[in-house]
Amino acid sequence: MRKTLPRPRLILPGIIIFSIVFPSLAQQPGGGRLTGDIVGGAALIFRAPQNPDVHLASSGGQSTVGGGRTSGRRTSTKPPIKQQEQFIAQGNAARKAAKPKEAEEQYRLATKVAPTDARAFAGLANVYVDQARFAEAVESYREAIKRNPDYQAAYLPLAFSLARLGNFDEAITIYEKLRDKEPTNPEVFNNLGFAYNEKGRFKESVVVTNRAIELLGATGQAYTQGFQDRNELLSYAYKNLGNAYNGLGQYEEAATALKKSVEIAPANAAAYFNLGLTLYNAKRYSEAIEAYQNVIKLRPSLAQAHYNLGLTYIAINDHKAAREQYEALKAINSDLAAQLEKVLKK
């Protein structure tokens, strides 16, 4: 007689690319707890923030009352640029040239000569975001907004940085305000859905994530994204939608969304991994096995996939196949291998 253990708990890895933790899974026959969502298939959409504008003085030369140009020496047609404009311009140029230290130095100089200028602090924050220094980015974006609450360019990267730090409550507050200001921006809706998932607000996530999918082009409206193409972003959105349905216990809907995610982006190992978790929840073990096998094809050394695949084999009493995963695990992750071995011995 097979033993039925408590619902397995999913573990959130402490990694900078976020993933949803499903609240509960189907009971695991034979013992063991499935490991949670993996990295490699980001769920947040992000466009690198644009450099702050440089305010150049208007050009023009001296002229006579009658409109004719004065005789004699010619005057410059470009009046001197204010010092903070020079620093901001140089910071922008350094950032564009991928010289973060130089960019940071120039923006810092701008904050010194013009401590009330929001642009200097926003530029500094942008450099921090580029380097994934999100705590410093949050501080600098807040300084920019403190100096100019109407500086809209700071809010979206601030919300993103907060989400990357796990501060989802504050990120949600900002994204909800941006949703009203930017009703056609899929980045806002997708990332709000991601944050809702992290706070267990799954019904709300379904609504806003579906809107993100519409805006990303599923219904015809394309979205231009710098280093990420439309299909990649749609895959992220469907992954978020699948996670939301999973949180609601609607496993069939979750499986449909995650299958769409991997159909759009077949190299998204994390979407395949979540599909495996979802199909396991739905007790569709053969399909879950196929999903995990696809993960392993994409990420052969991913220990969590071998471990979960081994537990799924145990769920259908295929201990021979489960032991093959144990053997593979021994060379990858001895701790997970030991855990799987314990289950095999029961």
Q: pLDDT digits over 172-211, tens only?
A: 999 999 999 999 888 899 999 999 999 999 999 999 999 9
* Helices 83-96 and 100-113, axial angle in degrees (round to 10): 160
Kindly state the tokens that stand for 221. 């409206």
Q: Who's near 316: CB < 8 A, 6+ residues apart? A: 285, 286, 289
> Which residues of the chain carry a pLDDT beneath 50?
1-30, 39-41, 58-80, 225-227
Query: Is residue 217 in a domain?
Result: no
Query: Is residue 125 in a domain?
Result: yes
Query: Is residue 123 in a domain?
Result: yes
Q: Who's near 242: CB < 8 A, 6+ residues apart? A: 254, 255, 256, 257, 258, 261, 271, 274, 275, 278
Residue 205 · residue 198 · CB < 8 Å:
no
Q: Who's near 345: CB < 8 A, 6+ residues apart? A: none
**pLDDT the model gives residue 17:** 30
Residue 56 · residue 233 · CB < 8 Å:
no
Query: Is residue 302 in a domain?
Result: no
Query: Is residue 115 in a domain?
Result: yes
| Residue appearing with tokens 């004699």 | 72
Supply the pTM of this predicted model. 0.79
N-terminal to C-terminal alpha carbon distance within the chain: 11
**pLDDT the model gives residue 341:** 94
| Residue appearing with tokens 């995963």 | 325
Euclidean distance between CA atoms 182 and 191, whole angstroms: 13
Query: Is residue 157 in a domain?
Result: yes
Produce one character per residue of 135-147: b if its CB has 16 or more CB atoms within 10 Å, e if not: ebbbebbebbbeb
**pLDDT the model gives residue 34:** 64
Query: Is residue 264 in a domain?
Result: no
63: phi then psi, degrees, rounded to nearest 5? -140, 160
CA 275 to centroid of chain Cα atoms = 19
**pLDDT the model gives residue 26:** 41
Euclidean distance between CA atoms 39 and 41, whole angstroms: 6
Q: How many degrees, rounded to 5, is the angle at CA 169 between CA 166 and CA 175? A: 100
**pLDDT the model gives residue 305:** 94
Domain of 123? 46-53+81-165
**pLDDT the model gives residue 126:** 97
**pLDDT the model gives residue 79:** 45
4: phi then psi, degrees, rounded to nearest 5? -115, 120
Tally the residues of the chain.
Answer: 346
Count Cβ atoms within 10 A of the Cβ of residue 78 and give its class: 0-12 exposed, 13-18 middle, 19 or more buried: exposed
CATH number, domain of 118, equals 1.25.40.10
Kindly state the tokens that stand for 139. 């501080």
Q: Who's near 64: CB < 8 A, 6+ residues apart? A: 70
Side-chain-side CA neighbours of residue 290 (13 Å): 7
**pLDDT the model gives residue 35:** 64
What DSSP character marks residue 71? Answer: S
Query: Is residue 103 in a domain?
Result: yes
E strands, 101-207, in order? none
Domain count, the chain: 1
